[in-house]
Structure 1
């Protein structure tokens, strides 16, 4: 007789057998050891996978640190990673040459951000075939436009005249940068590449990974028509963009309220037409500190003369941090002496559902 048939046909017998087994101390111990024997390989495999993933994450962070900041490559770094790191370090030297050349042509302190250039290059080429020497040297050109300008000069005899020169102007809209890269380097820049570049930039620039999706999951229902994840993914696209008074889109860059309006609207979280920090404040429900959640807004007062009730605004991300249009756009600790001096309150946009 097939035992499988008995088990299927007589579930009551199974329950009785289990009860009898558990009532017998010797048999119970035997059953426990049997269960351990069955599941131990699975537990070991899971532990190995977790260890591998943790080690990989450590190696990734180590690689980024070594590429951007230099240092001796440890003997514990796998040979494959060592080769990738050495290739990237060599490429970064070429990028430094190109960036330095470009920054000699910029004006008014509006220089090209080397961390941004390298973060994008790293996201595209680490662990992959690096581009040719010529293309690596030209890579930084994807981040600027060149303009013919004139200036007044004086000759040796003291006579004034005009001369034409070329000025490099950094591009603030990353979508244009990525389009330039695709055309010049003949590659496809994916959304994953762009997100990785943002995370690498945040890690190097601010000393941590891009806060948001991994560290601070929104503790509740999605807000508006989107979610906290969508909000942060949109916000992190513009890390490193300069603060521009009156700016409200990637082409112009952003001021604080322009940034918040753009991020909320473009992420699909909340339709927030362009307005001032006070205009947003007036739309919000005030939230006590002990009830504030990631995705809420944080307002400040008196950061400059002549502002309304609220003079500055950021998006709260949890753990006393915000992402905001500082100079440049980035993360900030709202518990510092400066921000606490100007703190106005937390706000939450009303649910439109």
Structure 2
């Protein structure tokens, strides 16, 4: 069957340079997942690297096939996307604990799974859960809680609960080696690093030389006074939320979405991202600890997860999934190039690896990077390539 498919493919596209490149790509994809993953990450001079980058994106963002791609390869991508769905469910369950310190990074977990498991059958729900278990530790703790007893009196009781803490990637690799019964090699780790960067983008802007405007004094208050309808998730209030974050001097820490950067959360993120956060540890300690922080897409997700009654940020609620900037763009059903953008506050603006919130009058609020925090910039000249209506938010 495999030979028949490849023979048909050769007859269809083998008569041109482009066709021969397509055959090489499909051979790598169908015959050896390891070759595919390696090829994805190599900076080849031919079109093969672009084809294979597209393969990674097809698994994360959804496929866009041509008729020349054989069904066996489509099946590999379909199984990977099925696995991603199971992993997302397990990650959401782990992250839903209100007593957890930090949260798992879905893109990282899926990048690891892709690099180690592409080409295999989709896991069972239980197997997906055990894979995700490798990325965090559990601790049984106790706390004092009050309740009203049968006599109507308030009593204090000791309650036991489980808190999770995300592990560093190096610790997760140790767990995965045991779970999978194989060593996580240096080549695996390089593949994972490249796939993660391809999907998640850079960890903020390093050195920006353009104009930007910093916000006000640090404040942890979330002000809803300018919201039009706190009971819904809508474009106007997304813009108002972003403006409040800017006016309140929010900082930037990778992997956060508007939480107060406590010492405990900082320690958790430092362990989880020893490079992306650890490289700026002194700066974060001096400037952002004690205030609220977000990364670029976390600024938008935080609004989606805001409970307007309690003013708590409740992970994964209100239909807003935990996605990166690129996946938020690819999930959008209404979008366009930046030159076609309507003047609608609450639209998002995007370029590969970064996203911001348009607030009207040619201005954007963005969580720019660790050294900048949440800032205001001009839409024009900032390098945005596309605009989008944020999925899960109303633009009526």
TM range (shorter): 0.3 to 0.5
TM-score normalized with structure 1 length: 0.46
Which structure exhibits the higher relative contact order, with contacts defined as CA atoms closer than 8 Å and separated by 6 or more residues? 2
More helix by share: 1
Q: What is the TM-score normalised by the length of structure 2?
A: 0.42
Larger radius of gyration: 1
